[in-house]
Chains A and B, each alone.
Chain A
Amino acid sequence: MNFMMFFEQVGRFFFEKKQVWIFFSLLIAPFFLVLAVLAPRFFTLRETERSFDSAALRGRAALEKRIEKEMFLCRFSKFEPYFIDQYLEALPLLQDNLQELYAMKNHPASKNRDALAKRIEFLEGPDNRLSFAEENIRSSKRIKETEERLLHPVEIDMNDLNRLLSLIEDVAIGGYTPKETSPQLIIQDFVLTKKNGAAYELNLSLLKREFLHTAEK
C-alpha cells in the first residue's frame, strides 16, 4: 500500500502541474552523464590510437636516425687534439713533381739548375706546406668549434688532393683511407685553381668540431 502511495506521489510529482520536464530531465540525465564521462575517454583513446599509429610509422626512421647520430658521436668523440698539425700540416705535397725536379737537376745535361733548385726549395720549404691559422673559436660544454684557415695557398697535384680530401672529409678515395682519430672537419671554403701542368693551387678554410665526451643534445 505504501508503495502505491509512493508511486502516486511520484506520478503526481512528475506529471502534474507542468513538471514533466523534471521527469524527462531525470530520464535523459544518466545518458548525458555517461556521455560526459565516456566521450572524453573515447576521444582521448582515439587520439592515443592515432598517435600510436603515427609513432609506429615514424618509429623506424627515427630509430635509424638515432643510431646514425650515436655512431656519428661515437666516431668523432675519439679524436686526436693535434690532428691538423700531425696529419695535414705535415703532409708533403707534389712529391711526384719533386722527384722529377730532382732527376732533372741531377741530369748532366740540365741547363736550368738554378731555376730547378729554386723550385725544389719552394716545394720543400714552408711556402708550399699546409699551414692553418685558428680563428673564431666557439665552445660549449661538450663541443668546441674552430675555424681553420690556410695562411697561404699551396700547390698540389691530384694525388695530394685525394689524400687531403680523404683525411679532411673522412672518406676513402682511391687508395687513401681516412684516419679514425680525426675530429669532424668540414670544408667551408675550397678554391682549386688550375696551374701549369698537373699542378693546382689550393686555398682552403675548414671548420673543426671537437666533441668532448658525450654529444650535445
Chain B
Amino acid sequence: MQATGVQIDGRSLRGALVRRAGQKLQLIDLKTHEIEESCKSDLHASNTAKNKFFNLFIRGASSTLVSGLQSNDLLIRSRTFTPAKSRKLRQALILQVEAQLHLKAEELITVSLFEAQEKRATTYSTTQPALNAHLEAFHKIHLDPERVSAVPAALKAFVKWKEPDFASYFLLDIGLTSANCIWVENGLLQKAHALSFGLQHLKGFWENKNDSIDFSAIKNSQSAFAEEARTFRREIAKMLHSFQQQRPLIFTGETNDSAFREFLLEGLRECITEEKQLSCTAEERLYAVCIGLAIDYLINIKQPIQFRHGSSLSSQNWQKLGRSGCFLISAAAMLCALIYGTGSWWIDKREKDIIHNLEAWTAEKDPTLRLELFSAGKDTPTLVNQWLRLIEKNAKDYRFLMKAPKVAQFLDWIAHHPLVDSFSQTPDPIFFEQIRYQLVSLPHLDAMDNPYLVKIDLDFKVGSPLHARKFHEMLLQGQGLVDASREISWDVLPDRYRATFYLKNE
C-alpha cells in the first residue's frame, strides 16, 4: 500500500511517496517540483506540470494522494474517554464539538481520531471555505488530493515514526510561506498554531537576492531583514508562549541551517526546555509534512483523517465509488441472472418430472385417460388440474348406482342376525309379523341430488319382554345395517312390538 503526501509551499510542490508493507513503513522517494506561474492559468501547462510531477514518482495504482490543512485552518480538541470507541460516541463527540464552536453548522467539518488503547480522542474541525480554498490551490495545478488530512497530525506522525519514544514536545515546522507549531503531550496532540508567512517572506527583505540567507550576521544588525527576522521569531515565541508549558522543541521544514535554528532558539529559550534533534536526514526534515501526511494515512488506514466528505470528495474517490457502484450493480444483476437461470432450470425440471410421472401413471393405470390428457399440448399445471378434475369427476359415486341396502340384503341380515338366532334356540323365538322396506328418498330425474335413504318398519312378536329389550338395544347400538345416528322409534302395541329405524348406506 502506498501513499503520496503532498504540500504546496509557495511555488514549491513537495511530495513524499511512502509504502507500507505489513507494519513496516518505507520511504520510497522525496521530490519537489517548482510551479511556474503560467501553470496556474494555462491548462495545458498545468497538465504538463502535473504529468511532470507524477512522473517524478513511481506511483502505483494503489498510491493515494494526501494533502493537509494548515494549523490556522484547524481547531483541535483532545479528550479522554472511559468507554471504548464506538460509532455513536464518535457522532456524539463531533456533535458536541461543533456545538461549542459557535460557527455555522452547515460550514463546519469535524472529524475525530480515536486512539483506542489510551481511550483518547482528538477532534479536528475546519470550515468548508477553508477546505475549498485548500482544494482550489491544488486544483489550480490540476491536482486533486484524494484525502485531505491535517498538517499537525502529519507532523506528529512524522515524529512518532522517527522517534517513537518522544511523547511530549513542541514542534516547529517552518516552510517558505508558513510556519506550523504544535504541542504534543503524552502522545496526544494538544494545540497547534500557524503563521501565514515563512522564509520566503524573510527572503524578500534579504539584500542580496542571489545569495542564501546568512542568519549568523543578524545578531547585531539593524537592517530591515534583521528586524523582520526578529519579528518572525517573536511571532513564533508568541505561539509557543500560548501553550503555557515548557517542552523540548523539534525543528522540521526549512530549518536545516543551524545558524537559523540558533537564531530562533535565542529568542525561544524561555518557552522551551531544550532543542531535540530527530535522527533523520536533512531531506527528511525538509519533507516532514509530506512524509507525515503519507505516514498518518497509512498508519490510520481504517480511520484516516479525511475532511473531504459528500460533495467535496475527490475525482478519484468519485471514480472509486462509481467503479464500486457499477461493480456492485453488475454483480447483483449477474447474481440475479444466475438465480433466475438456476430457478427456471429447477422449476422446469420439476415440471418435467411431474409430466413424466403422470405419463407413467396413466400409461399403467388408465391408457384412455392418457390419450385424453396428452392429446393437445398443455402446460404442466393445466395438465395436472385437468387430471385432477377428471379424477374428481370420477371419484363421485354414480348417482344411479343403488347405494342403499337392498331388500334381499336386509332380509338376509335380519333373518341371520345372531340375536335372532339365539332367540330361536330358546322356547321364546321372535316372530316377524310385518316388514316394511321404504325407500323414502332416492335420486331421480326430477331430483338428482337426493340421497338414498331406507326406512324400515318392523312388527314382531316375542313372548319375553327381556328379548324385546335386547332386540331394541341391538337396534340402538347401530349394529350391522342400522343407522343409529338417525331416529329409532319403538312402540309397544297390544299384541306386538313395532320398531322403526333407518338403514346405513354402503
Residues of chain A whose beta carbon lies under 8 Å from any beta carbon of chain B = 4, 6-12, 14-17, 23, 26-28, 30-31, 33-34, 37-38, 41-42, 44-45, 47-49, 51-52, 54-56, 58-63, 65-66, 68-69, 72, 138-140, 143, 145, 165-166, 169, 171, 173, 184, 186-194, 207, 209, 211, 215-216
Contact of A194 among B328, B391, B398, B432 (CB under 8 A): B432
Residues of chain B whose beta carbon lies under 8 Å from any beta carbon of chain A = 310-311, 315, 317-323, 325-326, 328-329, 332-333, 335-337, 339-340, 343-344, 347, 350-351, 354, 357-358, 361, 365-366, 380-381, 384-385, 387-388, 390-392, 394-398, 400-402, 406-409, 411, 431-439, 442, 444-446
Interface of A is mostly: helix
- A52 and B358: CB pair below 8 A? yes
- A138 and B432: CB pair below 8 A? no
Please give, as numbers and ranges, the residues of chain A lying within 8 Å of B350 by CB-CB distance: 45, 49
- Within the complex, the shortest CB–CB distance from B368 to chain A, in Å, comes to 10
| Also in contact, A165 and B380, with CB within 8 A (given A63-B365, A72-B400) | no
Contact of A38 among B326, B329, B340, B366 (CB under 8 A): B340
- Within the complex, the shortest CB–CB distance from A171 to chain B, in Å, comes to 5
| Also in contact, A59 and B434, with CB within 8 A (given A7-B319, A31-B336, A140-B445) | no
Given A171-B406, A184-B402, A187-B406, 6 additional A-B pairs, CB 8 A? A37-B340, A51-B385, A58-B391, A62-B395, A187-B439, A215-B400
Give bound CA distance, A10 to B340, whole Å.
Answer: 27
- A8 and B439: CB pair below 8 A? no
- B365 and A169: CB pair below 8 A? no
- B387 and A9: CB pair below 8 A? no
Give bound CA distance, A191 to B432, whole Å.
Answer: 12
- A11 and B325: CB pair below 8 A? yes
- A56 and B361: CB pair below 8 A? yes
| Also in contact, A68 and B401, with CB within 8 A (given A7-B322, A139-B445, A207-B444) | yes
Give bound CA distance, A39 to B352, whole Å.
Answer: 18
- Within the complex, the shortest CB–CB distance from A15 to chain B, in Å, comes to 5
- A186 and B322: CB pair below 8 A? no
- B322 and A31: CB pair below 8 A? no
**Could you name 21 residue pairs across A and B whose Cβ atoms are closer than 8 Å?**
A9-B322, A11-B318, A11-B320, A26-B329, A28-B332, A34-B336, A37-B340, A48-B384, A60-B365, A62-B390, A62-B391, A62-B392, A62-B394, A63-B394, A65-B395, A65-B396, A138-B445, A145-B444, A166-B408, A169-B406, A173-B408
- A49 and B445: CB pair below 8 A? no
User: Which of A30, A47, A193 has most chain B Cβ within 10 Å?
Assistant: A30
- A52 and B434: CB pair below 8 A? no
- B433 and A11: CB pair below 8 A? no
Closest to A137 in B: B445
Give bound CA distance, A27 to B311, whole Å.
Answer: 22
Give bound CA distance, A187 to B328, whole Å.
Answer: 81
Please give, as numbers and ranges, the residues of chain A lying within 8 Å of B384 by CB-CB distance: 48, 51-52, 55
Please give, as numbers and ranges, the residues of chain A lying within 8 Å of B432 by CB-CB distance: 194
Give bound CA distance, A156 to B347, whole Å.
Answer: 71
Closest to A13 in B: B322
Please give, as numbers and ranges, the residues of chain A lying within 8 Å of B337 by CB-CB distance: 30
- A194 and B431: CB pair below 8 A? yes
- B329 and A52: CB pair below 8 A? no
Give bound CA distance, A147 to B437, whole Å.
Answer: 16
| Also in contact, A10 and B445, with CB within 8 A (given A63-B394, A209-B400) | no
| Also in contact, A189 and B391, with CB within 8 A (given A14-B321, A45-B347, A173-B408) | no
Closest to A168 in B: B407
- Within the complex, the shortest CB–CB distance from A141 to chain B, in Å, comes to 11
| Also in contact, A65 and B398, with CB within 8 A (given A30-B336, A47-B381, A56-B361) | yes
Please give, as numbers and ranges, the residues of chain A lying within 8 Å of B361 by CB-CB distance: 56, 59
- A8 and B322: CB pair below 8 A? yes
Give bound CA distance, A215 to B344, whole Å.
Answer: 45
Give bound CA distance, A34 to B344, whole Å.
Answer: 10
Closest to A193 in B: B434
- A31 and B332: CB pair below 8 A? yes
| Also in contact, A188 and B354, with CB within 8 A (given A14-B321, A194-B433) | no
- A68 and B310: CB pair below 8 A? no
Give bound CA distance, A145 to B335, whole Å.
Answer: 69
- B354 and A52: CB pair below 8 A? yes
